[in-house]
């Protein structure tokens, strides 16, 4: 058996040396050389393009941007930019040496490796199986002073990990980290660069366009913002509920300025009061003044004699939205949202479903609320007794051994010791 095994290993070695095998594993590639020829070196540009990525031979579509002049998958580039900025604050300069590779590029590198005709015969994985074809793998400048030590200590915080033990320069990102980055989308569907650009003009950014604020048209809110606030009888302004039954006027800064230019107030995104039709008050302001037995005009409570009896706080901000919607309360929103049919009222007392006391028992071995320890022991003892009695009914007693002196007649069967059935 041993010679056969040796022959088998020799055959495999010969095939690999002859270039007939699948080539080196995707994890075994040579360190690329640092190239500063790109004028975009040191920048992350968010101009996107679609390409075909590969992982373990399977193709999929990826979005590619540019990081340090190298193509990188979009979300990986965002995570890298955040990590690069943190490293720069620590005095460490990170540079992408190699990023995403197309199928044609990998085929070229693999041909150079197999034929030893170019690329100084560096190792290259078989096309379709290189980690770089996924767009999530980066070769970084770990040969530079301090780079590898910084990565080893901090890269995990940003979602990067070293996936190839033999390659200190190879780092991959498949999720995690603090988020952010120049090319990521905000909750209002804008890239961060677009949001920063709109912010420079005092505006928000919604669906890749400047909106709301003090200088831009629009409400500054997404369709979801509008629907969520509308459920409480409010408008949505710059991503928060305002106007209607909510605090605030329901107008952006620009809308308020435009209405003031014609001597009017602004309520719920419309000019109202002053020289314009309407009272200039939101529904919430009108209700607040009604509690003072007064009317409302331009956000002020006015008595029947025209005397100002109070001003309504219209500028109190609403809580910011989050992933679960708007954290509105009856006090903040001015109204209580109607309860749904499938959710019980949390303020209502819990229904009584048992005669057992509701307070949990403290001490003992019982963790069941309202169940005294003595009851638990009694139930356990009763169950054990019932199980013991059932076992006795199932298993008959072993018959006594036959006795040579046993009578052949009488109340026992001959030779068995079993009782004879009594006559009925």
* Tens digits of residue pLDDT in 373-391: 666 677 778 888 887 777 7
Alpha-carbon distance of 226 to 140, in angstroms, equals 45
User: Where in the chain is CATH 3.30.1380.10?
Assistant: 16-173
- What value, to the nearest 5°, has the Cα angle with vertex 109 and ends 104 and 115? 120
Q: Judge whether residue 325 has pLDDT over 50.
A: no
- How many beta carbons lie within 10 A of that of residue 27, not counting itself? 15
Per-residue tokens: 358: 């509701």
- What's the residue count for the chain? 424
Residues 370, 354: contact at Cβ < 8 Å?
yes
**417 vs 355, higher pLDDT:** 417
State the pLDDT at residue 225: 83
DSSP reduced 3-state for 10:
helix
> Bigger pLDDT: 212 or 224?
212
- The CATH label, of 3.20.20.10, 3.40.50.11930, 3.30.1380.10, 3.40.50.1970, for the domain at 16-173 is 3.30.1380.10
Least confident of 12-21, 82-91, 97-106: 12-21
CA distance linking residue 84 with residue 23, whole number of Å? 33
Determine how many CB atoms are found less than 10 A away from the CB of residue 234: 30
Residue 270 burial (CB count, 10 A): 17
Confidence bin at 69 (pLDDT 50/70/90) = very high
**Whole-number Å distance between alpha carbons of 289 and 285:** 6
d(Cα 260, Cα 252) in Å, to the nearest integer?
A: 12
CA 405 to chain CA centroid, nearest Å:
87
pLDDT band at 96 (very low <50, low <70, confident <90, very high): very high
Per-residue pLDDT at 319 exceeds 80: no
Tell me how far apart the alpha carbons of residues 224 and 328 are, in angstroms, rounded to a whole number.
Answer: 15
Q: Quote the pLDDT of residue 57.
A: 94
* Band of pLDDT at residue 259, cut at 50, 70 and 90: very high
Residues in CB range of 147: below 8 A, 6 or more apart: 87, 92, 93, 94, 140, 141
CB contact set of 64 (below 8 Å; sequence gap of 6+): 48, 49, 50, 51, 71, 72, 73, 74, 100, 135
> Rounded mean pLDDT of 25-30?
53
pTM of the model: 0.44
Q: Which residues contact 233 (CB under 8 A, 6 or more apart)?
A: 244, 245, 246, 283, 335
Confidence check: pLDDT of 29 > 50: yes
Q: Report whether 301 contacts 292 (CB < 8 A).
A: yes
Token pair 């989050």 is at which residue?
A: 322
DSSP assignments along 173-191, one per residue: E-S-SS---TTPBPTTS-B
Task: Tell me if 50 sits within 8 A of 63, measured CB to CB.
Answer: yes
Task: Name the pairing type of β-strands 209-211 and 204-206.
Answer: antiparallel
> What are residue 238's DSSP bridge partners?
none
Among 255-269, 307-321, 355-369, whose mean pLDDT is lowest?
355-369
**Residue 300 belongs to what H/E stretch?**
strand 300-302
413: pLDDT confidence band, cut at 50, 70 and 90?
Answer: low
pLDDT at 89: 94
DSSP code at position 221: -
Q: What is the pLDDT of residue 420?
A: 58
- Look at residue 387 in the predicted model and tell me its pLDDT: 79
């Amino acid at each position: 058996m041993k010679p056969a095994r040796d022959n088998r290993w020799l055959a495999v070695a010969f095939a690999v040396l002859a270039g007939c095998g699948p080539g080196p594993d995707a994890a075994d590639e040579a360190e690329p050389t640092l190239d500063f020829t790109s004028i975009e070196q040191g920048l992350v540009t968010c101009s996107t393009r679609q390409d075909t990525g590969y992982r373990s031979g399977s193709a999929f579509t990826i979005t590619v941007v540019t990081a340090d002049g190298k193509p990188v998958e979009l979300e990986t580039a965002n995570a890298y930019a955040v990590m690069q900025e943190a490293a720069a604050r620590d005095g460490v300069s990170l540079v992408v040496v190699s990023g995403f590779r197309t199928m044609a590029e990998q085929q070229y590198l693999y041909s150079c490796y197999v034929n030893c005709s170019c690329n100084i015969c560096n190792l290259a994985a078989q096309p379709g199986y290189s980690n770089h074809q996924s767009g999530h793998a980066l070769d970084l400048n770990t040969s530079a002073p301090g780079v590898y030590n910084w990565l080893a200590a901090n890269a995990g915080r940003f979602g990067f990990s070293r996936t190839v033990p033999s390659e200190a320069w190879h780092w991959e990102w498949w999720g995690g980290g603090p988020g952010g980055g120049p090319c990521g989308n905000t909750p209002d569907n804008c890239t961060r660069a677009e949001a920063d650009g709109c912010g420079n003009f005092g505006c928000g950014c919604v669906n890749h366009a400047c909106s709301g604020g003090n200088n831009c048209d629009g409400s500054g809110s997404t369709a979801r913002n509008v629907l969520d606030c509308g459920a409480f009888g409010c408008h949505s302004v710059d991503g928060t509920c305002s106007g209607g039954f909510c605090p605030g006027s329901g107008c952006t800064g620009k809308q308020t300025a435009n209405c003031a230019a014609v001597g009017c107030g602004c309520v719920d995104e419309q000019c109202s009061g002053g020289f314009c039709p309407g009272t200039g008050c939101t529904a919430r302001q009108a209700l607040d003044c009604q509690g003072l037995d007064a009317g409302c005009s331009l956000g002020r409570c006015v008595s029947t004699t025209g005397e100002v009896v109070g001003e309504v706080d219209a500028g109190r901000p609403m809580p910011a939205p989050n992933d679960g919607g708007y954290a509105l309360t009856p006090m903040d929103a001015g109204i209580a949202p109607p309860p749904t049919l499938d959710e019980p009222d949390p303020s209502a007392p819990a229904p009584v479903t048992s005669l057992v006391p509701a307070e949990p028992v403290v001490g003992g071995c019982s963790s069941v609320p309202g169940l005294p320890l003595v009851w638990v022991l009694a139930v356990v003892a009763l169950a054990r007794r019932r199980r013991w009695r059932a076992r006795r009914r199932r298993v008959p007693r072993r018959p006594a051994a036959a006795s040579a002196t046993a009578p052949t007649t009488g109340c026992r069967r001959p030779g068995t010791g079993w009782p004879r059935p009594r006559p009925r």
